[in-house]
Amino acid sequence: MIFKQIFDKNSCTYTYLIADPVSKEAVFIDPVDTYVEDYLALLKTLDLKLVYSFETHVHADHISGSGLLRQATGAQTCIGLHCGAEIADNRLVGGEAFTLGADVIINAIATPGHTPGSMSYLWADKVFTGDALFIGGCGRTDFQNGDPGDLYDAVTQKIFTLPGETLVYPGHDYKGDFVSCVYQESSKNPRLAGKTRDEFIEIMNNLNLPVPTLIDKAVPANLYCGIEEEVALQWANERELSNPDKEHRGGQGKINYAKQQVNVIDVKTAQSLIADGDPVILDVREKNEFNLGHIEHAINLPRGEIRSDIESILATRHKDAPILIYCASGHRSVLAALVMAEIGYTNVISLTGGYVKWKREIS
Ligand SMILES: [Fe+2]
């Protein structure tokens, strides 16, 4: 096996290299943009081919190197679906398995709480927990739509249930520690060991930490894997052209079908509709994406909540009234429009290219 832990002293971030010595295929977990040249040199020295960059979440304290690595090597970017990074190659919900050569298997585990899209990755006897679990601590839950109850459930049910000897490699360490194990964290972690869910929530809600200095720059950049929005959109377009069916793993076929069934509209026509037609404007992205910017007067209801909540939210509107629906790039919105059609809404129109295109054409 080839395994290396790399430390960024500016943000106290750990990046990990995992590679299969036979096939020479490699991955990075949580690469940092300022180290990309070093990573590339390391890959060259070890004669490795980078195939994936995994993110544990959209980071607030440093800019990801996964986009730059994709440009340099073609390695696919992988991140939790609920992180809102629309342009990533693989958007994960947990349960996915990635293989390097014949022997290395890396499993994605959804561990929400620090952020809704946070993922951990399990490789053999090692689990890479990102900011879900630190050595003697855990990631904060007071921004990026964090939720301490979700974090408690994820860590206690998905990490602490792994064999006790499983090695825990965190996303950060601020005290000089490198590695822990599940037994150590489940029995000694001061925030979690022996704590009830309510006690943990009480602790997390009273940390009173300062906001990370880089958050306003890092979060928007990391929604595009740390690279320029224009370049990221170009990838997305190229990928769409070469594989129009793919939204994320497991979603094949759905998007194409939906696009044939749903009325779509470009940005210019959408503007006229807003000016003349008084449509409901419905943003079906996640709350954290909506909070970073949205079309004026839009109502936010994430796609996963359409079926349960749309009728109460639009209770005063007739089901034949026009609804302009959008997401980041126009994928989720067509799927959401299909659900709305099933519920009885007859005039749902999806914005092609989504908010990304809206922003480009309006500004
Ligand atoms: Fe984080």
| Residues 186 and 263 reside in one and the same domain | no
Among 219, 237, 265, residue at a domain's last position: 219
- What residues have CB less than 8 Å from 275, skipping those under 6 apart? none
In a domain, 235, yes or no: no
Does residue 249 lie in a domain region? no
Q: Which domain holds residue 310?
A: 257-362
181 with 85, same domain: the answer is yes
Same structural domain for residues 17 and 141? yes
Q: How far is the CA of 297 from the centre of ligand 1 (A)?
A: 30
Ligand 1 centroid from CA 59, angstroms = 5
Q: What is the pTM assigned to this prediction?
A: 0.71
pLDDT (0 to 100) of residue 230:
66
Based on the fold, state whether residues 192 and 298 are members of the same structural domain.
no
Helix (H) or strand (E) holding 104: strand 104-110
CA distance linking residue 127 with residue 239, whole number of Å: 30
- Report CA(337)–ligand 1 centroid distance (Å): 32
Picking from 219, 249, 265, the residue at the C-terminal end of a domain is 219
Please choose, from the candidates 127, 110, 111, the residue with its C-alpha nearest in 3D space to the C-alpha of residue 166. Answer: 127
State the pLDDT at residue 292.
Answer: 82
Q: Which among 203, 219, 235 is the end of a domain?
A: 219
Quote the ligand 1 centre to 132 CA distance (angstroms): 8
CB 199 within 8 A of CB 38: no
Q: How far apart are CA 203 and CA 21, in angstroms?
A: 43
Task: Specify if 160 maps to a domain.
Answer: yes
* Cα(24) to centroid(ligand 1), Å: 30
Question: Do residues 148 and 9 share a domain?
Answer: yes
pLDDT value of position 87:
79
> Can you give the pLDDT at residue 39?
97
Residue ranges in the chain whose pLDDT is less than 50:
244-252
Interatomic CA distance for residues 154 and 128, integer angstroms: 14
The one-character DSSP state at 35 is: G
- Residue 83 falls inside a structural domain: yes
Q: Are residues 30 and 94 in the same domain?
A: yes
Report CA torsion sign: 58, 60, 64, 67. positive
Is the residue at 231 inside a domain? no
Residue 243 lies in a domain: no
Closest C-alpha to 254, from 338, 345, 343, 355? 338
Report the separation in Å between the CA atom of 115 and the middle of ligand 1, taken as the mean of its atom positions: 8
Distance 61 CA to ligand 1 centre (A): 7
Partners of 128 in beta bridges: 121, 169
Strand partners, 137: 134
Distance (angstroms) between ligand 1 centre and the Cα of 139 equals: 6
What is the 153 CA–ligand 1 centroid distance (Å)? 18
State the pLDDT at residue 280: 96
The kind and range of the H/E element at 152 are helix 148-154
Pair 203, 273 in one domain: no
pLDDT score recorded for residue 107: 97
- Give me the pLDDT at residue 359, please: 87
Q: How far is the CA of 212 from the centre of ligand 1 (A)?
A: 10
Would you state the pLDDT for residue 175? 93
Q: Helix H segments across the chain?
A: 36-45, 66-73, 148-154, 182-188, 197-204, 215-222, 229-242, 254-261, 267-277, 287-291, 306-313, 332-343, 354-362
Distance 235 CA to ligand 1 centre (A): 25
Phi then psi dihedrals of residue 7, to 5 deg = -115, 130
In a domain, 351, yes or no: yes
Distance in Å, CA 50 to ligand 1 centroid:
24
CATH code where residue 94 lies? 3.60.15.10
Q: How far is the CA of 40 from the centre of ligand 1 (A)?
A: 24
Q: Are residues 195 and 320 in the same domain?
A: no
The Å distance, Cα 58 to ligand 1 centre, comes to 7
Give the 3-state secondary structure percentages of the chain, helix then strand then coil, rounded to 5. 35, 25, 40
* 49 and 179 share one domain: yes
Give pLDDT, residue 247: 43
Say which amino acid occupies 361. E
In this structure, the answer to whether residues 65 and 202 fall within a common structural domain is yes
Q: How many domains in the chain?
A: 2
CATH of the domain at 270: 3.40.250.10
